[in-house]
Structures are given as C-alpha cells and as structure tokens.
Amino acid sequence: MAAVAAFAGWLLRLRAAGADGPWRRLCGAGLSRGFLQSASAYGAAAQRRQVAHFTFQPDPEPVEYGQTQKMNLFQAVTSALDNSLAKDPTAVIFGEDVAFGGVFRCTVGLRDKYGKDRVFNTPLCEQGIVGFGIGIAVTGATAIAEIQFADYIFPAFDQIVNEAAKYRYRSGDLFNCGSLTIRSPWGCVGHGALYHSQSPEAFFAHCPGIKVVVPRSPFQAKGLLLSCIEDKNPCIFFEPKILYRAAVEQVPVEPYNIPLSQAEVIQEGSDVTLVAWGTQVHVIREVAAMAQEKLGVSCEVIDLRTILPWDVDTVCKSVIKTGRLLVSHEAPLTGGFASEISSTVQEPQFGNSISSESPWGRINRSCASQSLPPSHGSVFLSS
C-alpha cells in the first residue's frame, strides 16, 4: 500500500540521517529490505493508477452505556437525532430533502415520529438554511441544520464565520446561537469528483467561535453529535460519507456523550505519533499495524476528533514521548489542518525537544495532493 511504503521510506531516511534514540533498536532488527522500495522505484510504481482503499476497523463493543445495537454510521446519526428530538422539545431538523429521510438516509423516520413542524425541507439555499438556523438558535430553540454536501457549504460561509461564530462575542454574551449544529457529509468517496468529495475543515479551523468535529465511526458519531447538539456553541459536524454504509459497529441505543476537544489515543506506542481524523484514522491504523509487523516500529495512533478547538495537550504529550509525528488528512496539503498541528508541536512552550536537524525532519504530513482538486479521487488520495 502506497501510504505504508511512503511512511516506511520516511522512517528509513530518518534513520539514514542519523536520527537517534529508538533507531538504534532497529539497527539490529534485520529489516526486511525486500519490502521497502527505493524512492525511485516507488516513484515509478506510484504512476500506476491505484484504487483508494481503507478498511473500517470497528472498536470493541462499549459496555458502559447500556444495551447496544448494530448500526452503521447513518443509523447512528439517526439514533442521535432521535434521542435529541425526544429529549428536547425545541429541537428541529431542517435541510434539503431531510423530510423523506435525506439523500444519505440520516433522517429516516424522524418526520413520521416527530411531525412535519419539527423535521422539514428547505429550498435549495445554503446561505438561507444556515442564516435561518442561526435565527432559530438565537431565540433559544435547538436548530440542527443539514448541508447536503460539505462542498455546498460555501454560500453559507459568511453566515457561519461572520454571524454564527461572532454572535456571543459581539453582543457581550447577551445573545448567542449556541444551540445551532450544522451537519454535513464530508470527504472523499471515490467517485465524487470536484463537488462531492471536499474536506473543508481547514477553512473553518481558522475561525474562533465555532467548533468543528469529525467522527471516525458510528459509536463516535452518535456520542460526538449529541455533544455538539448539547454544546452551547455553534458546531459543525462533518460526517465521512464513505463510512455511512461501510462502517458498522455496536452502538448504544440510549443517548450518551463523548466530550468535545478531547483527542483519543486509540493505540499506544513509543516510536512515532500518527494523528488523523475521520476516514483517515482507519488508514493510519492499518499503517500502524503494518509498520509494527514489517518494521517493528511501535506507533501511537491518535484520533483528533475535534478539529477546533483541538486537543493540543494530548498530541504534544504524545510527541514528547515518541519524538516523531506524522499527520495525515484527506484535505489538500497547503494550509491543511496538519500544518497547524505540526507548527504547534514545534513551539518551545510545549516542552518538547523536537527539532528539524535531520534533512527529512521529524514531522511529516501525508495529505492529499497539494493544489489538485479531487477530480480523480483514486489518484488524488493514492493511499
């Protein structure tokens, strides 16, 4: 797999550059050279078309939240919305085509159960949808807006950045639209091309006043979505669309919360920290497993979960321990959220001693093609 070979190549270069510490262990470990391709051979291989692939890795069944049921991602979202509307009589869901169940079936059955006053369609107007949602939230009702694809969120960008994010601040806490949550399908799906594949979390990460959350699985999605809806700040919840059907897990039926702004260390390790969110977490987990098996490298895998405000402490603590960091995301490289993470961990106040002495650096980003729009999804990701 391309990502593994690339990652392995990076590790080898680090070692060749005389990086210290854990690398001494590897010297005698007898690396299987046959597996690792040289950069030039790899380059030629990369020119062949590869199908983007990942395998969803379910988490073990949660035991602390009561009875669970097998659900995929869209069912987990429906369950969370169902819980919200049951608990909160002011909660309403609106967006394009949500009444019949939504184009990804996230709102199936809700209109029948809660009535057409609470689950209703809007016309085709994203700026209108979000502006309208801010208005509902300002009066104190809970507004759950759906933007049909994250690629369409840009007409609403002004409303989110200039209105929703700044409402509390500019009114001196007199007003707020904290009960607004915007849900949107996000990320590459293979055949989405330019306008059904985008991951715009980095655009919103630049805006204080809102929260941006990306789950990796059905269990995470339900807990995080419920937290977003109950959070007293406007939240954007991006749902990886390729996981809607592909991710199946045991999910608690009753409501539960997963805290925001807390990253999760999915797997502990000692040699390198791998950070990702959404679909890419599963790719990174696979990379970690292969690195352990083929290279004997112990990886610490972190799912960031909340992009804004992000859990700086967990990531920095991990990087201090391992000394190396790889951040991976679907969005393009330049200005992607990995750049924020990699720049923050290098700041001296976080107490780590990472420096970029070696020519290959100790921090790397594996992201989608810099500057290329996702028109050819499989090559775009090349993982």
Partner 1 sequence: MRKMLAAVSRVLSGVAQKPASRVLVASRHFANDATFEIKKCDLHRLEEGPPVTTVLTREDGLKYYRMMQTVRRMELKADQLYKQKIIRGFCHLCDGQEACCVGLEAGINPTDHLITAYRAHGFTFTRGLSVREILAELTGRRGGCAKGKGGSMHMYAKNFYGGNGIVGAQVPLGAGIALACKYNGKDEVCLTLYGDGAANQGQIFEAYNMAALWKLPCIFICENNRYGMGTSVERAAASTDYYKRGDFIPGLRVDGMDILCVREATKFAAAYCRSGKGPILMELQTYRYHGHSMSDPGVSYRTREEIQEVRSKSDPIMLLKDRMVNSNLASVEELKEIDVEVRKEIEDAAQFATADPEPPLEELGYHIYCNDPPFEVRGANQWIKFKSIS
Question: Counting runs of H as helices and runs of E as strands, what totals does the chain give?
Answer: 15, 14
Between 139 and 370, name the residue whose CB sits nearer to partner 1: 370
Q: How far is the CB of 233 from partner 1 (least distance, A)?
A: 26
Between 172 and 359, name the residue whose CB sits nearer to partner 1: 359
Between 10 and 114, name the residue whose CB sits nearer to partner 1: 10
Q: How far is the CB of 72 from partner 1 (least distance, A)?
A: 18
* Position 128 contacts partner 1 (CB under 8 A): yes
User: Is 268 a known active-site residue?
Assistant: no
* Position 356 contacts partner 1 (CB under 8 A): no
Of the candidate residues 121, 250, 267, 358, the single one contacting partner 1 (CB under 8 A): 121
The pair of structure tokens assigned to 297 is: 């490298």
- Find how far residue 346's CA is from the centre of its chain: 22
* Position 127 contacts partner 1 (CB under 8 A): yes
Residues 91-110 that bind partner 1 (CB under 8 A): 96-97, 100
Task: Yes or no: say if 110 and 254 are a contact pair by the CB < 8 Å rule.
Answer: no
User: Is 126 a known active-site residue?
Assistant: yes
Nearest Cα neighbor of 7 from 50, 49, 37, 52 is 37
Query: Which residue type does 287 have?
Result: V
Instruction: Catalytic residue, from 96, 126, 230, 286: name it.
Output: 126
For the chain, the farthest-separated pair of C-alpha atoms sits apart, in whole angstroms, at: 68
List the x/- string, 25-44, binding to partner 1 by CB under 8 A.
--------------x--xx-
3-state secondary structure of 11: helix
Q: How far is the CB of 164 from partner 1 (least distance, A)?
A: 17
Residues 210-249 that bind partner 1 (CB under 8 A): none
* Position 146 contacts partner 1 (CB under 8 A): no
Which segments within the chain are labelled E, that is strand? 68-72, 92-95, 119-121, 143-146, 180-186, 211-213, 235-240, 248-252, 264-267, 272-276, 299-303, 306-308, 325-332, 363-368
Tally the C-alpha atoms within 13 A of residue 107's C-alpha that lie toward its C-beta. 32
The dihedral through the CA atoms of 247, 251, 257, 262 has a sign that is negative
* Position 195 contacts partner 1 (CB under 8 A): yes
Instruction: Catalytic residue, from 163, 196, 329, 330: name it.
Output: 196
Task: Yes or no: say if 130 and 145 are a contact pair by the CB < 8 Å rule.
Answer: yes
The binding site for partner 1 (CB under 8 A) comprises 2-3, 6, 9-10, 39, 42-43, 46-49, 96-97, 100, 121, 123-125, 127-128, 151-152, 155, 191-196, 333, 364, 366-372, 375-376, 379-383
Q: Which residues are catalytic?
A: 126, 196
